[in-house]
Structure 1
Amino acid sequence: MAGRTRAPGTYEVALVRSKYLPLEAHPDACTPDTFREWLKQRRPEERLAVDLFSGAGGLSLGLKRAGWTVAAAVDNNDRALETHRHNFPGMSLKLDLGSLEGRNELLSLFEGVEVDLVAGGPPCQPFSRAGSAKIRDLVAKGIRDEHDVRKELWRAYIDIVLALRPRAVLMENVPDMGLADDFRVVRIIEQKLEDAKYVTQVHLVDTWKFGVPQHRRRLILQARRDSTEFRWPKQHANIVTLRDAISDLPPVPVNETGSRETPYARNGKLSRFAADMRKGAPRGLVHDHMTRPVRKDDAELFDLMDSKSLYSDLYQKFKDDPEKSRLFRYDTENFTDKYNRLGWDELSRTITAHIAKDGYWYIHPDQPRTLTVREAARIQTFPDNFRFAGMRSDAFRQIGNAVPPYLGEAAARALWPHPEDAASGPLQPFWGVVRRVLTDWATEQRAKSDWISLPGPRMGVPQAAVAALVGTGKANVDGLTEAMTHVDGLPHLTRAAYTKVVQSAQRPSARRALERLEKLAGKRKVWEDRDGVADQLGLKPNEKAVFRLLLDNDLLMATQGPIRVAERVAGIGLATDDTSANALNDGRINLAKLVGAGDDAPLRMAAVRLLSLTYCRAGGPACGGCPLREMCATQGAARAGQSPATPFSSREASEGALF
């Protein structure tokens, strides 16, 4: 085994616990009993917002910076609510929104109250790749229920939105909320909002483009019922580096952990970011600039690292040096990046709740220590006057779980009402119109020869199996028609039909694929078990996706062809030009918008796949017969002699960046 593994009970560093920081309520805070009186004190022009699953208040602070008054924040964590109650006016409520009683209690408080914006981020741990392995382990050990109710809290969120019917809606979450389930939850939420006459917008956002000094990609869903415009602030062209973010904070003395109150360092001109962070803070004093103690040998190892160092590479470099090899306590085959040193002129690694347990992914660029609470808060864009209740670990956890306020502000500004954008008549959500056209076309085509490529009354298990084996690529799909005539109307595959199907194959590859049906030919009962058919045929992932789709399963076939169709309609980020992970994830967003949710979603997905194989090919579209040609942004731009749109181009505010 390369490297070493620490023996149990030999941490070899004193565990220094911080004292609990109690925080008093904001002077303008209220309770459910005094809420109506609090409302009377609001100015008529104030726009009220509700923040669900608020945590410490990162999103609330973004809303405040964008101009809203947060009337109520709801969470189920005592420390986070104590933090929120100290930093914000209004109500900070402890409610279980997963229960009907909790939702009804909240709605009763707002009976007759006009809410302009409902915001929030339903708990995201079950969707996050970072937490999924741990969750699976807890389920396997019987410690946690396999059906995690937190996955369903998005239903509570949308139920409250539809009951309060605000002018605008904002939801933030990790990208895996969409990617983990084919964006099904996002598609359902969008459908419910569109049914309620909202126009929706979904983006995967790189937070650094809005001034957040870290790598962090978030899913933002917005909706409004007053306009089709979303005026995002201007994006940053350059990153806010870690030097910009925290270099003005004083060094922590070696072998010390900092303190609750520390004098600011006098080190010259502040960056714009640091100046914004210091606004409203006590002059000359920084709070919560405290970190954890580290082992002496870890501190020595930190000094050997820079921002490019991998734990495993360092071991290989120093394994033959007795003095330095003793510093490696972990198996370097399994812990290749056990430690991570941050770089001054780079973005920080994503700050997550894990920082509350282990700060070794966040080693200071200069000093042999991990980040302080205040440094982590800065990187999340919490200003220095924002305090966090509880112990040091409580503060780290609240910071890691928070929405970066700068991101919240940018997303909220996109929802601010502008009189010039107000709709003069009923709103026509673009993607809703596109989906209706696509559904009508697919329904019409299904009644004709294209039934072979679409879920419907004539598509049973034998038909879907043949179509999946033959038609997963353009080279074979042209020969699908004859093969399907031999199984049309059959509840199971007969031997005679099998022979004709194989003989109809126009290409050797199609023939070989269809010969896999032989083991099931002439059998009856097996065709009643669609999953069993897929397993016995050994369907490859793409074949299985086609098989399931044609049998009316709701899934996104996020392959290059369907993504190409969606992005040509949207006019952005064509997958044919960029196959990076981020570009493909953006492509999935557009595909999710095009497919939507509901009973007809599988039909639309199959129709998009059919378009990618016929009219909307990679080599160049044949737009004449495409049902979406009049709504295709790429074609519209070509007719107008313009370039296709770019993300956030529905409107960008002219006032520039956030700070």
Structure 2
Amino acid sequence: MKIKILDLFAGAGGLSSGFEMYVNEKNEKVFEVHRAVEIDPFACNTLRKKHGMETVIEGDLTDKKIHKKVIKECKGIDIVMGGIPCQSFSLIGPRSGKFKELEKFKCDTRDRLYEEFRDIVKELTPKIVVIENVKGILSKKDGNGEFIINHLINDFEKLGYNFENESGMKYFVLNAADYGVPQIRERVILVGVRKNWKDITIPNMIPTHYDPNSKSAKELKNLGLLPYVTVYDAIGDLPRLEAKLTSTGISKRGLPKIKSQNKNRDDGADILENDFIKFKEHYSKLETNGKNYFKFIGTEKIAKIHHHKCRSHKKDDIQLYAKMNPGETAGDFITRCPEDSSLIIYDMNSFKDKYRKQDFKKPSTTIFAHLEKDGNRFIHPEQPRTYTPREAARIQSFPDDYIFEGPFTKKFKQIGNAVPPRLSFEIATMVHEKIISEKNKYWSKKSLFTNLRKEKFIKKILEKKTPKFSLLIYRNKYDYNRKVHNSHKVLGKNFY
């Protein structure tokens, strides 16, 4: 019998998708999304495409009818998970301030979303709770100057959940690149276990990949970790595209010229044939890290590539994209080429990183929902254009058969808001093999990354001495900074 998941604020389903992709040593799927709740209609259609009509509950959790429906249909659920919207933390705990400001917050239904999540957990009493949020939640405070993260953990501890992990912390700060995602993306992950089910310390999340430019790269390689997956690894096989010129702001007299120039520009399509010859050629050039990545997203089994169509751009932007060097921001470019500053219309005092050209040799910078508006921070490393939805999805580690519903821009929004499935796959592995099954061995024999998952490697990693660093540790219901020298208690990027 599969372990049933309730995915709240599900978005396009990135968090639960990684859990569903996990298989045990018998190559059997272990987790199943029982219900996914989401308010965005386009994301709901994406979820229906993947899970079917019955699984998706579309609506606002603050609506009593939706709340009751969730409770009625999810009794006996095993895991409740979700990325609680950031705005929903503004009313946690007592607030101080002007009356009008307080009333403004009270009128914002988003501020009740955290309470809805907590109340659903209280009513359903799942065995495990998984919460994802941006790293900024660690520094966010309420009106009285108290850390929001403290209130959140306290609330769930009162419900009988334990969050403390082997490092003495009550949350993880994970960089997705450390777990095989071709992207630098730091997120806070909380995993809580109901004490009256299992009184267990949450196991640490052990990185599987390392930064080849770090000082410890040689040692980490010897421990069996793989180098970061790069942008080239992830999207280097996709067909070359040429962005069309936008007609926005062009006079009627200029439109015929634009149309003529666009005739010979191939900007892609929402459905393309998978060029297996080109894919195999690209795959043959990759190291183990890149090959493992493609095993995860399943490109070799996909006949069609979806959503590989690029935006139209202004002529000046296309010229700028072509002149920028990989890794450069707008500020870097102006410093190097002041004579071309007219290509940038934004105030460089405020928008120095408004444009960023990605680097094929490194992981991408963090994909975010602003891609819905423009892609200027995600300029293709070799082509004068910005990312396509499929390229963004690959950077997020979505499988190639994952289809996003809705208009072009709404696809970007869903992708940018998602938890990378490759990261959630690692969380699922830890949850099943170390918490639910309580196996002696940390990793499954049938895992995609068997060569990394050996206890001797993990022991060496945990015992490894590291340079001094500062950890923000939650303990005794308040936050404080503790300097750790040569500590073996390492997490995420602190591992390096």
Give me the TM-score of the superposition, normalised by structure 2: 0.71
**Is 1:258 matched with 2:268?**
yes
> Which protein has greater RCO, CA pairs closer than 8 Å, 6+ apart?
2
Amino acid at match of 1:219: V
Q: Separation in 1 of the partners of 2:181 and 2:321?
A: 25
String of CA shifts for 1:263-306, please: whole Å, max 9, x gaps. 334330423223432348532x3111011111122111111111
Q: CA deviation at 1:108?
A: 1.6
State the match for 1:387 in structure 2: 403
Q: Separation in 2 of the partners of 1:167 and 1:242?
A: 38
Q: Separation in 1 of the partners of 2:491 and 2:346?
A: 43
State the match for 1:116 in structure 2: 78
**Is 1:191 matched with 2:35?**
no
**Is 1:107 matched with 2:71?**
yes
Distance 1:331 1:84, change over 3 A: same
Residue 188 of structure 1 aligns to a residue in which SS? helix
Q: Separation in 1 of the partners of 2:229 and 2:467?
A: 31
Distance 1:643 1:577, change over 3 A: closer
Residue 307 of structure 2 aligns to a residue in which SS? strand
State the match for 1:243 in structure 2: 232
Residue 76 of structure 2 aligns to a residue in which SS? coil
- Summarize the alignment of residues 630-649 of structure 1 with structure 2, pairs less than 5 Å apart: 644-647=488-491
Q: Separation in 1 of the partners of 2:41 and 2:336?
A: 47
Which of 1 and 2 has greater Rg? 1
* Equivalent residue pairs, number: 390
- Larger strand share, 1 or 2: 2
Distance 1:306 1:147, change over 3 A: farther
Pick one of 179, 189, 198 that aligns with 1:210: 179
Q: CA deviation at 1:374?
A: 0.3
> Does the CA contact (< 8 Å) of 1:340 and 1:361 recur in 2?
yes
- Summarize the alignment of residues 202-601 of structure 1 with structure 2, pairs less than 5 Å apart: 202-225=171-194, 226=198, 227-230=200-203, 232=205, 234-237=207-210, 238-253=227-242, 255=244, 256-265=266-275, 266-267=277-278, 268-270=281-283, 271-272=290-291, 273-279=293-299, 282-283=302-303, 285-320=304-339, 324-416=340-432, 417-420=435-438, 577-578=468-469, 584=470, 587-588=471-472, 590=473, 592=474, 594-596=475-477
State the match for 1:550 in structure 2: none
Amino acid at match of 1:306: N
Distance 1:643 1:302, change over 3 A: closer
Distance 1:205 1:385, change over 3 A: same
> Does the CA contact (< 8 Å) of 1:232 and 1:413 recur in 2?
no
Amino acid at match of 1:350: T
> Does the CA contact (< 8 Å) of 1:572 and 1:647 recur in 2?
no
State the match for 1:543 in structure 2: none
Q: CA deviation at 1:329?
A: 2.6
String of CA shifts for 1:416-464, please: whole Å, max 9, x gaps. 1444469xxxxxxxxxxxxxxxxxxxxxxxxxxxxxxxxxxxxxxxxxx
Amino acid at match of 2:33: V
State the match for 2:138 in structure 1: 178
State the match for 1:23 in structure 2: none
Distance 1:334 1:184, change over 3 A: closer
Distance 1:643 1:362, change over 3 A: closer
String of CA shifts for 1:343-393, please: whole Å, max 9, x gaps. 001111111110010111100000000000100000111111000111100
Q: CA deviation at 1:643?
A: 6.1
Q: CA deviation at 1:319?
A: 3.7
State the match for 2:286 in structure 1: none
Amino acid at match of 1:53: F
State the match for 1:98 in structure 2: 62
- Larger helix share, 1 or 2: 1
Q: Separation in 1 of the partners of 2:327 and 2:363?
A: 13
Alpha-carbon RMSD: 3.2
> Does the CA contact (< 8 Å) of 2:466 and 2:487 recur in 1?
no
Unaligned runs of 5+ in 1: 1-44, 129-138, 423-570, 579-583, 613-617, 619-632, 635-641, 649-659
Q: Separation in 2 of the partners of 1:236 and 1:370?
A: 27
> Does the CA contact (< 8 Å) of 1:229 and 1:421 recur in 2?
no
State the match for 1:505 in structure 2: none
> Does the CA contact (< 8 Å) of 1:228 and 1:421 recur in 2?
no
- Summarize the alignment of residues 23-42 of structure 1 with structure 2, pairs less than 5 Å apart: none
Pick one of 118, 131, 154 that aligns with 2:114: 154
Distance 1:197 1:247, change over 3 A: same
Q: CA deviation at 1:595?
A: 3.1
Distance 1:332 1:51, change over 3 A: same
Q: CA deviation at 1:175?
A: 1.4
Amino acid at match of 2:183: Q
> Does the CA contact (< 8 Å) of 1:261 and 1:288 recur in 2?
yes
Distance 1:65 1:286, change over 3 A: same
State the match for 1:484 in structure 2: none
Q: Separation in 2 of the partners of 1:328 and 1:395?
A: 27
Q: Separation in 1 of the partners of 2:404 and 2:44?
A: 10
Q: CA deviation at 1:574?
A: 11
Distance 1:643 1:308, change over 3 A: closer
Q: Separation in 2 of the partners of 1:274 and 1:164?
A: 37
Q: Separation in 1 of the partners of 2:428 and 2:369?
A: 24
Q: Separation in 1 of the partners of 2:240 and 2:84?
A: 37
Residue 414 of structure 1 aligns to a residue in which SS? helix
Q: Separation in 2 of the partners of 1:318 and 1:396?
A: 31
Q: CA deviation at 1:341?
A: 0.4
Amino acid at match of 2:389: V
Q: Separation in 1 of the partners of 2:438 and 2:403?
A: 39
